[in-house]
Structure 1
Amino acid sequence: MATPDFILGLRESIGHAPLWLSGVTAVVVRDAEVLLVRRVDTGHWSSVAGVIDPGEEPADAAAREILEEAGIVAEVEALVGVFTREPLSYANGDQAQYLDLVFRCRWVSGEPHPADGENTAAAWWPLDALPALPDTHAERLRLAVSHQGPAAFRRRNGG
């Protein structure tokens, strides 16, 4: 996966130290189907996801990632969830943790294809016949498809 230039610049200063990043997960719905991409790095099917660039609006980042990764034009309809992902370490030793903003999006045009080299496939999947998904993506997909009302979020400290 391509690492954004701003992260490469930060890594020059902080090395492998933990880096807090903001990201988006975009769940694109078309009728009774959902857009999924197969990731180059893991081989897993997932929703489109990516890092928000500095100064970029989160909804714009979701639409950009959909177009860049799958060649699809989509309209962002709703923020459906805000979550902190578990800390992770990459193969090169870099450490990161993500604030993940999950958006439900509506297909506007285009047919899916792996558009930028981050994925080996992009396709519409029937909601009643999804492939195996990583737990976080399965949860976010369910949340986006069934979304009603305000965005969901977790609280670890009560209230």
Structure 2
Amino acid sequence: MLLYMSNANREVRSMSLHSVSVAGVVVREDGRVLVIKRADNGAWEAPGGVLELDERPEEGACREVLEETGIKVEPERLTGVYKNMKRGVVALVFRCRPVGGEEHTSDESVDVRWFTREEVERHMAEAYAVRVLDALNASGPHVRTHDGHRVLGA
């Protein structure tokens, strides 16, 4: 229904194909953040993935973090909304705190580590590092666009 309503004033109806993903920026008491090295492309990112149709965004972020890292988390707040303009993916990112579990890899992650802010800036692509840095910041939530590598707008 929303799709129809969003195109109601157009003569030719187009289909908006977006995917919604969620990610959790898990911050320990010492300020380090949980990151994974993705199995598909070797990139360092905050754990996350596609939001299921029947789950709330916060629940999806917790599920994805647990599946990819073995760490159980509680969401604290939404820290940003990020759109990949090339792929049509909208990501909702939540700052989370760890509440249990043990780190392990999965089918989607080949490494799991706790990075410092400096390691995030050094090892992560700008489009994904900004998500972590925004979550470490007290301001927000932020709304940003990117091309998969670089942030396009602040």
Q: Settle same-fold status: TM greater than 0.5.
A: yes
Q: For the structure 1 residues 123 and 154, does the alpha-carbon distance in structure 2 shift closer, same or farther, using more than 3 Å as the test?
A: closer
CA contact (8 A) 1:112 1:124 kept: no
Does 2:52 correspond to 1:53? yes
Partners of 1:154 and 1:63 in 2: how far apart? 22
Kindly state the Cα deviation for residue 154 of structure 1 after the two structures are TM-superposed: 4.7
CA-atom RMSD in angstroms: 2.0
CA contact (8 A) 1:113 1:123 kept: no
1:153 to 135, 143, 149: 143
Determine what percentage of the aligned residue pairs are the same residue: 35
Q: Which residue of 2 is the match for residue 4 of structure 1?
A: none
Q: Which residue of 1 is the match for residue 109 of structure 2?
A: 119
Which ranges of 4 or more aligned residues in structure 1 deviate by more than 2 Å?
126-131
- SS of equivalent to 1:61: helix
How many aligned residue pairs are there?
A: 129
Kindly state the Cα deviation for residue 18 of structure 1 after the two structures are TM-superposed: 7.8
Does 2:26 correspond to 1:28? yes
- SS of equivalent to 2:99: strand
Partners of 1:23 and 1:60 in 2: how far apart? 12
CA contact (8 A) 2:78 2:95 kept: yes
What 5-or-longer segments of structure 1 have no aligned partner? 1-16, 89-96
Partners of 1:18 and 1:113 in 2: how far apart? 37
Q: TM-score, normalised by structure 1?
A: 0.74
Deviations 1:16-74 (A, max 9, x none): x9831111121100022100100011111110120000021000000000000000001
Q: Which residue of 1 is the match for residue 12 of structure 2?
A: none
Kindly state the Cα deviation for residue 129 of structure 1 after the two structures are TM-superposed: 3.4
Q: Which residue of 1 is the match for residue 65 of structure 2?
A: 66
Kindly state the Cα deviation for residue 141 of structure 1 after the two structures are TM-superposed: 0.5
